[in-house]
């Protein structure tokens, strides 16, 4: 199931006229490219990277220009892996209208150009092959160019030494107390729907990430209350997280290690996770995840470790 998305008809005509290019295809309705664009054009970050087909270059440049920004595009195109939605390769750009590229938006020409060049180096190991992975050393420089919080960059530096690192697991382990929905950035689908941040936070209560996202949401609310409301409703959802690309969005209430839910969205290729669609209650401890339909036990999943199936309470 695709995560909740907002349709054009739920937005004011003025908002759609201004940002209509982000709503030309279903994917743009629910990814966070629009949020990134709003953040950089309102001066919240030095540069933003948004994603889209090459044919949108002129429209993005025109819109950004009205807001005092410049746009550069990547010198490569993204090529999706049909067997793995979390993997992609890059290839030299042929400037075909449908090629998927990155756009780098900034108020400063040099910053936009430098960010583009750094990102090219970041993606160099992925040229013409799937599974190549990013150049993680250059990812750090890229994060600085995009204005990510220094604490989150440092956390990324430490975690990246593990080739199989799950950054959400790291953030969860670093989170004291209740997570903030403002830092809800989980790799459960690509791109991440409605996210207010575009980086892996050092924790789901990171003060700098929360402050940035809170300011961005306030700006969005001033421009379009309906869109801001949709963002908050989409992010304020508990997640039962099993790992990258494996999680269940549970629409309900969290009570300690239990979630009572009315409906769920299974964002996972694991067949056994379909079990959650039949239940309305989940309990979690360090060893197992149990799914119930009221008081009837439907099934039990054994956890490979304590973090393999955790409730992240973004309510």
Considering the domain architecture, whether residues 227 and 250 belong to the same structural domain is answered as no
- The residue out of 235, 264, 287 marking a domain boundary is 235
- Residue 198's nearest CA partner among 244, 148, 123, 133 is 148
Considering the domain architecture, whether residues 39 and 165 belong to the same structural domain is answered as yes
Residue span of the structural domain in which 74 resides = 8-235
Considering the domain architecture, whether residues 62 and 45 belong to the same structural domain is answered as yes
- The residue out of 213, 235, 257 marking a domain boundary is 235
In a domain, 271, yes or no: yes
Q: At what angle do helices 225-235 and 207-223 cross, to 10 degrees?
A: 140
Helix, strand or coil, per DSSP, at residue 102: strand
Q: Are 243 and 169 in contact (CB under 8 A)?
A: yes
CA dist list (Å): 195 to 18, 34, 203, 223, 298:
20, 10, 15, 17, 33
Poorest-confidence range of 23-27, 110-114, 284-288?
Answer: 23-27
Residue 71 pLDDT class (50, 70, 90 cuts): very high
What integer is the mean pLDDT of 145-173?
Answer: 84
> Which pLDDT value is given to residue 202?
95
In a domain, 2, yes or no: no
Considering the domain architecture, whether residues 246 and 135 belong to the same structural domain is answered as no
Considering the domain architecture, whether residues 195 and 266 belong to the same structural domain is answered as no
Query: How far, in Å, CA of 45 to CA of 37, rounded?
Result: 10
In a domain, 1, yes or no: no
Entry pTM: 0.89
Considering the domain architecture, whether residues 283 and 216 belong to the same structural domain is answered as no
Considering the domain architecture, whether residues 201 and 89 belong to the same structural domain is answered as yes
In a domain, 270, yes or no: yes
Query: How far, in Å, CA of 201 to CA of 170, rounded?
Result: 9
In a domain, 246, yes or no: yes
Rg (C-alpha) for the chain, rounded Å, is: 20
In a domain, 172, yes or no: yes
In a domain, 133, yes or no: yes
- The residue out of 235, 259, 292 marking a domain boundary is 235
Q: What is the pLDDT of residues 175-188, one digit of tens each?
A: 999 999 999 987 66
In a domain, 3, yes or no: no
Considering the domain architecture, whether residues 207 and 99 belong to the same structural domain is answered as yes
Considering the domain architecture, whether residues 150 and 293 belong to the same structural domain is answered as no
Q: Would you give the distance in Å from CA 84 to the centre of its chain?
A: 17
Task: Answer with the residue of higher pLDDT: 30 or 132.
Answer: 132
Considering the domain architecture, whether residues 267 and 219 belong to the same structural domain is answered as no
Domain count, the chain: 2
**In percent, how much of the chain has pLDDT > 70?**
87
Considering the domain architecture, whether residues 215 and 109 belong to the same structural domain is answered as yes
Q: What is the pLDDT of residues 226-267, one digit of tens each?
A: 889 888 988 999 999 998 888 899 999 999 999 999 999 888
Considering the domain architecture, whether residues 283 and 214 belong to the same structural domain is answered as no
């Amino acid at each position: 199931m695709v995560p909740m998305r907002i349709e054009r008809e739920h937005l004011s005509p003025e908002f759609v006229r201004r940002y209509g290019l982000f709503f030309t295809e279903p994917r743009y309705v629910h990814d966070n490219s629009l949020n990134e664009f709003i953040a950089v054009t309102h001066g919240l970050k030095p540069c933003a990277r948004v994603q889209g087909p090459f044919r949108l270059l002129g429209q993005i440049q025109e819109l950004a220009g009205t807001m005092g920004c410049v746009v550069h595009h990547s010198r490569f195109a993204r090529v999706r892996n049909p067997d793995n939605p979390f993997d992609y390769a890059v290839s030299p750009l042929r400037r075909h209208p449908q090629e998927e590229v990155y756009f780098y938006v900034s108020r400063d020409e040099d910053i936009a150009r430098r960010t583009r060049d750094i990102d090219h180096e970041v993606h160099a190991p992925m040229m013409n092959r799937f599974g190549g992975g990013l150049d993680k050393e250059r990812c750090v420089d890229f994060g600085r160019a995009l204005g990510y919080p220094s604490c989150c960059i440092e956390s990324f530096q430490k975690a990246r030494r593990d080739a199989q690192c799950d950054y959400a697991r790291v953030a969860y382990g670093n989170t004291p107390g209740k997570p903030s929905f403002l830092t809800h950035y989980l790799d459960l689908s690509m791109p991440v729907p409605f996210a207010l941040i575009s980086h892996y936070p050092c924790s789901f209560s990171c003060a700098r990430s929360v402050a940035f996202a809170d300011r961005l949401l306030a700006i969005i609310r001033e421009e379009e209350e309906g869109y801001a409301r949709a963002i908050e409703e989409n992010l304020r959802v508990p997640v039962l997280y099993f790992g990258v690309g494996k999680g269940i969005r549970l629409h309900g209430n969290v009570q300690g290690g239990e979630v009572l839910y009315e409906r769920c969205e299974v964002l996972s290729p694991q067949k056994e996770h379909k079990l959650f669609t039949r239940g309305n209650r989940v309990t979690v401890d360090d060893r197992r995840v149990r799914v119930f339909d009221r008081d009837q036990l439907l099934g039990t999943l054994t956890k490979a470790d304590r973090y393999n199936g955790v409730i992240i309470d973004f309510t």
